[in-house]
Structure 1
Amino acid sequence: MGESTERGASAATGQVSRIDFDIEWPPKHAAAYLIEEPAPILIDTGDPEARAEATIRDGLAAAGYDLEDVAAVVVTHPHSDHIGQVPLLREAGATVYAPRPVLEQLERDPADLAAGIREIGRSAGYHGEAIERETERAKSSLERNRRLLEPEKAVPFGFDEPVTVAGRAFDPIHTPGHQVHHASLATEVNGERVLFSGDALIEPFRPGAINVGLDYGAYDAVDDFHRAMDRLEGRTVDRVFPGHGPVFTDYEGAIESTRSALESLTAETLESVSAVGPATPLEITRHRSGEVRHPAQLLDTIGALGTLEGRDRIEYEDRDGARYYSFRKASP
């Protein structure tokens, strides 16, 4: 899709401009999208770093806009590389929209979050200082995201019911797995049915099954990702604008490749259980991936273990809160 070079009402309705941000963790970039029309809408906002503010200003300027021209911001999910510049846009006058469950999640009691991290972290094989480190990291992320998104100042929307933003109708689709309250946003732009997929559907790779992080529900991550693909499948989509990777048109192919990647993850995890079990999720991850450099590696494993347990392929023994997985024993 082309880019407008004129501001405001002279901008052609239905143009979409992409703004690319450099980030420090894989895949090293994130994207926001400006829908150019008389009341411009920004989908996601990049990360919180100072350089991202310059990026968003420059990206808007390239399309012929200032910060103050943006009427609304719509958030797909509350990861920092997507909500980082929300305060900047809000201060400039934009109305911020986010999924209702996301805003409710940001009001969570930190003590409840800490209890979840400790229980699931222990089940994964962490102990002592490692659990406390993960707990502090999660509490810090909650505080940061609450500060960035400020739930009391955002307009909530539900899933699977249309929402109108600055005169434009979106169909928000609940697409968990990468993030438990993730919304993908379908709308018609310039005669095409398009999807702003955030991190739910990306080509050419599968996003990590991060879902809730190391918290209650972590073992549901891969099943939730499959449910997201169920909700996307069968829709008419001509073009996809993802949060990472290139814009693409092979919508059904991306759904198929995501499902295939999830099944490959599940098969690899089962092979690792066979090789090292009885073993904790952390030990299984090290066998499957080598050194655990990123939380997503462990979270992928945890989600796959939950799926395998649900399929009656594996079982675990609880040893002082830690889960030791092995093949399910045959019934006598």
Structure 2
Amino acid sequence: MQDPTDRASEPTSVPITRLDFDIEWPPKHAAAYLIETPAPILVDTGDPADRAAETIRDELAAKGYELSDVEAVVVTHPHSDHIGQVPLLRESGATVYAPAPVLERLERDADELAAGVREIGRSAGYQGEAIEHEAERACESLERNRRLLDPDAAVGFGFDESVTVAGLEFDPIHTPGHQIHHASLAATVDGQRVLFSGDGLIDSFRPGALHVGIDYGAYEAVDAFHEGMDRLEEHSFDRVFPGHGPVFTDARGAIERMRTELESLTGETLEAVVTVGPATPMEITRNRIGEIRHPAQLLDTLGALGTLTRRGRVDYTTRDGVRSYSVLKAA
């Protein structure tokens, strides 16, 4: 990231200041970005913890701003480490912008969500109380995210046209895989084409294929990631500002590394099916990584299994709602 003081003599320069937040789960940090246009804009807002609110106040003060000076907040995706301080900024007068499909999904009926979690959880190999635990956790996350990013208090934007926020034009690019309605935000700042990529593109590691969580669509996560990379490849960027990891300039290299890591995940999953199949996604995940410590590890497997099925490499049978995967002999 360029030090704003390097260009202080240029009155038209628009500094982009990174705000770093400590979070409790891997990768242990998240980033938001202050775009210092005449009406300042914040892209994402950190996590819900009190220390994140202090970070925003302190970083704004260091740049000579107060909370009320932030004209707008733009959200890349509705995960808590990116929307945690939306209420703080909204209450201070900022207009909040988010992908319209995100706002629509936040209005989802909790019973419908729970039904999806139960069906997909059962297909993956969850049993008994574990299924109900995941359904309860998903509904709690929906309620929390709806509280943080109130659909009735935000302006929705689509993926098919640009949106002007506080005088700056963004081109939202649909980059699902990590989250089904994730938006990577392209803009021209000081003559440079930049991308605020959220968790859609990170150079230092591959974001988990969370997509929809344990829900309808979980088996589409890896293919969705590839679709997002296809869309990003249609553009050129001078600099990328991600939600985690360092700011980087080699967008095309990062896209290629993302694809390589997705293919590695798919290959590891196929090897696990060869080793333990016929097997449930849960058993395949344990073979691939050992003890399952977080649903994200299982979700990677579900996404990879969906890709392998569509490629004709594996297939599954279903008994009492539980999937059992095997390698296709013709593969």
Does TM, normalized by the shorter one, top 0.5? yes
Matches of 1:41 and 1:60, distance apart in 2: 11
Residue 92 of structure 2: aligned partner: 92
Q: Could you list the per-position Cα deviations for residues 203-238 of structure 1 after superposition, in whole angstroms to 9, with x for gaps in the alignment?
A: 111100000000000000000000000000031100
Matches of 1:42 and 1:301, distance apart in 2: 34
Identify unmatched segments of 5+ residues in structure 1.
none
Residue 290 of structure 1: aligned partner: 290
Matches of 1:144 and 1:109, distance apart in 2: 14
Residue 318 of structure 1: aligned partner: 318
SS at match of 2:212: coil
Whichever residue aligns with residue 305 of structure 1, its letter is L
Residue 102 of structure 1: aligned partner: 102
Whichever residue aligns with residue 167 of structure 1, its letter is G
Change in Cα spacing, 1:97 to 1:123, as seen in structure 2 (3 Å) is same
Matches of 1:188 and 1:252, distance apart in 2: 18
Matches of 1:326 and 1:273, distance apart in 2: 6
Residue 78 of structure 2: aligned partner: 78
Runs (4 or more) in structure 1 with deviation over 6 Å come to none
8 Å Cα contact 1:4/1:63 also seen in 2: no
Whichever residue aligns with residue 225 of structure 1, its letter is F
Matches of 1:231 and 1:140, distance apart in 2: 32
Whichever residue aligns with residue 106 of structure 1, its letter is L
Whichever residue aligns with residue 36 of structure 2, its letter is E
Q: Could you list the per-position Cα deviations for residues 96-150 of structure 1 after superposition, in whole angstroms to 9, with x for gaps in the alignment?
A: 0000000000000001000000000000000110000000000000000000000
Residue 276 of structure 1: aligned partner: 276
SS at match of 2:87: helix
Residue 306 of structure 2: aligned partner: 306
Cα drift, residue 330 of structure 1: 3.6
Residue 48 of structure 2: aligned partner: 48
Query: Does 2:246 align with 1:215?
Result: no
List aligned pairs for 1:142-157, cutoff 5 A: 142-157=142-157
Residue 14 of structure 2: aligned partner: 14
Residue 3 of structure 2: aligned partner: 2
Identify unmatched segments of 5+ residues in structure 2.
none
**Matched-pair identity in %:** 72
Matches of 1:199 and 1:158, distance apart in 2: 18
Matches of 2:145 and 2:265, distance apart in 1: 29
Using structure 2 for the length normalisation, give the TM-score.
0.97
Residue 248 of structure 2: aligned partner: 248
Change in Cα spacing, 1:12 to 1:65, as seen in structure 2 (3 Å) is farther
Cα drift, residue 328 of structure 1: 1.4
Whichever residue aligns with residue 70 of structure 2, its letter is V
8 Å Cα contact 1:4/1:36 also seen in 2: no
Matches of 1:228 and 1:176, distance apart in 2: 6
8 Å Cα contact 2:12/2:190 also seen in 1: no
Change in Cα spacing, 1:247 to 1:291, as seen in structure 2 (3 Å) is same
Q: Could you list the per-position Cα deviations for residues 245-278 of structure 1 after superposition, in whole angstroms to 9, with x for gaps in the alignment?
A: 0000011000000000000000000000000011
Matches of 1:106 and 1:37, distance apart in 2: 30
